[in-house]
């Protein structure tokens, strides 16, 4: 997903950019979901970026600086942030730190000076979706479409995380103890012996744990417990394809998260 290229800067030509390929390939991606808010920060409108995004059916809000954007409260919105900044300078660092601190799910698309390889890696590990030196019109449209989907999946992942945390908090101290043993695959009779309980009592706790957590198998319990070991902020390091896959198979996220250790 990293894009960092240097080409001659030019305004976007809204009359010629929408080739049949762009229209058929890109508009479907963007308009298949409810319109997000695209937050444009510090970009000179002479490049026509705001017009380009509006023409694709998005709602656009423009901000003159990183400070203005952060003070506006817009970070709570859905969509993405397209910012003109040097990712090596203080503004870039401040923006990313605030987005992460506030658990803002909106992906960041940076447009600025040619970054170094180390800067690109660091910026994307901190949650940026795309890093551009000078994107073409079609690249920017595709990036916005992908960022919108990434924002949606991040929100869904965090909602799932919060719901799981609330369910875990409903367990009694004894049930939490039994859950810890169940998550590593221990049998009821082993748990009973280690906790000085009867197997029937363990089975009762097990049924109640399933009821409260909404699980139906030990595998689901193991995935839920593994996911809770990771902070919420891990979602910013997970790429779009992993989050999309986790919507179908939750166990993918814990497995991918281990790579980030």
Q: Does residue 211 have a pLDDT over 80?
A: yes
Is 8 within the bounds of a domain? no
CATH number at residue 217: 1.10.10.10
- Are the C-beta atoms of residues 52 and 140 closer than 8 Å to each other? yes
Co-location of 45 and 128 in the same domain: yes
Co-location of 147 and 27 in the same domain: yes
pTM of the complete model? 0.68
Is 10 within the bounds of a domain? no
Co-location of 95 and 204 in the same domain: no
CATH number at residue 118: 3.40.50.2300
Which of the 8 DSSP states describes residue 7?
-
How many structural domains compose the chain?
A: 2
What per-residue confidence (pLDDT) applies to 42?
Answer: 83
Q: Does residue 22 have a pLDDT over 50?
A: no
Which of the 8 DSSP states describes residue 229?
T
User: What are the backbone angles phi and psi of residue 30, rounded to the nearest 5°?
Assistant: -80, -45
What per-residue confidence (pLDDT) applies to 247?
Answer: 65
Q: Are strands 79-84 and 128-132 parallel, antiparallel or unpaired?
A: unpaired
State whether the Cα torsion 238-240-241-245 is positive or negative: positive
* Residue 113: Cβ-neighbour burial (10 angstroms; 0-12, 13-18, 19+): middle
Co-location of 216 and 101 in the same domain: no
Name the pLDDT band for 249 (thresholds 50, 70, 90). low
Is 14 within the bounds of a domain? no
Is 245 within the bounds of a domain? yes
- For the stretch 84-126, pLDDT in tens is 766 556 677 788 888 878 878 888 898 876 767 777 777 777 7
User: What are the backbone angles phi and psi of residue 193, rounded to the nearest 5°?
Assistant: -65, -40
Give 150's Cβ-side CA count (13 Å radius).
Answer: 27
Co-location of 147 and 28 in the same domain: yes
The better pLDDT of the pair 89, 257 is held by 89
Is 11 within the bounds of a domain? no
Name the pLDDT band for 232 (thresholds 50, 70, 90). confident
What per-residue confidence (pLDDT) applies to 16?
Answer: 35
Q: Does residue 2 have a pLDDT over 70?
A: no
Q: Does residue 26 have a pLDDT over 50?
A: no
Co-location of 106 and 58 in the same domain: yes
What per-residue confidence (pLDDT) applies to 18?
Answer: 32
- For the stretch 146-163, pLDDT in tens is 888 888 888 888 888 888
- For the stretch 48-78, pLDDT in tens is 778 888 888 888 999 988 888 989 988 888 8
- Mean pLDDT score across all residues of the chain: 75
Residue 140 to residue 109: CA distance in whole angstroms: 9
Is 9 within the bounds of a domain? no
Co-location of 219 and 104 in the same domain: no
Beta-carbon contacts of 177 under 8 Å, excluding residues fewer than 6 positions away, are 195
Q: Does residue 258 have a pLDDT over 50?
A: no
Name the pLDDT band for 17 (thresholds 50, 70, 90). very low
Is 61 within the bounds of a domain? yes
Co-location of 29 and 143 in the same domain: yes
Sequence-ordered alpha helix ranges (H) in the chain: 20-31, 49-55, 66-72, 90-101, 117-125, 137-169, 173-183, 188-195, 199-213, 218-228, 240-248, 252-259
Kind and range of the H or E element at 82? strand 79-84
Q: Give the domain-ending residue among 123, 151, 179.
A: 151
Q: Does residue 251 have a pLDDT over 70?
A: no
Q: Which residue range(s) make up the domain with 130?
A: 20-151
C-alpha 217, offset from chain centre: 28
Q: Does residue 21 have a pLDDT over 60?
A: no
- For the stretch 166-189, pLDDT in tens is 999 999 999 999 999 999 999 999
Which among 25, 84, 86, 83 is positioned nearest to 56, based on CA atoms? Answer: 25
Q: Give the domain-ending residue among 100, 117, 151.
A: 151
Beta-carbon contacts of 240 under 8 Å, excluding residues fewer than 6 positions away, are 1, 129, 146, 149, 150, 153
Co-location of 147 and 162 in the same domain: no
What per-residue confidence (pLDDT) applies to 191?
Answer: 95
Co-location of 165 and 139 in the same domain: no
Co-location of 134 and 212 in the same domain: no
Which of the 8 DSSP states describes residue 86?
-
Co-location of 162 and 58 in the same domain: no
What per-residue confidence (pLDDT) applies to 176?
Answer: 94
Is 4 within the bounds of a domain? no
Q: Give the domain-ending residue among 94, 127, 151.
A: 151
């Amino acid at each position: 997903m990293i894009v960092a290229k240097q080409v001659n800067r030019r305004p976007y030509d809204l009359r010629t950019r929408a080739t049949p390929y762009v229209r058929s390939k890109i508009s479907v991606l963007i308009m298949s979901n409810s319109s997000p808010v695209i937050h444009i920060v510090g970009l000179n409108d002479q490049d026509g970026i705001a017009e380009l995004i509006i023409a694709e059916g998005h709602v656009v809000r423009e901000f003159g600086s990183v400070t203005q954007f952060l003070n506006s409260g817009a970070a709570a919105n859905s969509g993405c942030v397209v910012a003109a900044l040097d990712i090596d300078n203080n503004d870039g660092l401040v923006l990313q730190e605030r987005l992460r601190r506030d658990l803002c799910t909106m992906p960041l698309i940076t447009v600025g000076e040619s970054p170094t390889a180390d800067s690109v890696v660091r910026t994307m590990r901190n949650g940026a979706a795309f890093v551009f030196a000078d994107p073409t019109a079609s690249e920017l449209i595709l990036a916005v479409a992908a960022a919108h989907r990434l924002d949606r999946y991040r929100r869904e992942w965090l909602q799932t995380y919060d719901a799981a945390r609330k369910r875990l908090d409903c367990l009694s101290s004894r049930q939490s103890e039994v859950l810890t043993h169940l998550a590593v695959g221990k049998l009821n009779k082993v748990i009973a012996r280690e906790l000085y309980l009867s197997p029937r009592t363990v089975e009762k706790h097990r049924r109640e744990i399933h009821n409260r957590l909404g699980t139906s198998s030990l595998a689901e319990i193991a995935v839920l417990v593994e996911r809770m070991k990771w902070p919420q902020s891990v979602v910013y390091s997970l790429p779009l394809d992993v989050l999309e896959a986790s919507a179908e198979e939750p166990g993918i996220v814990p497995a991918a998260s281990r790579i980030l250790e």
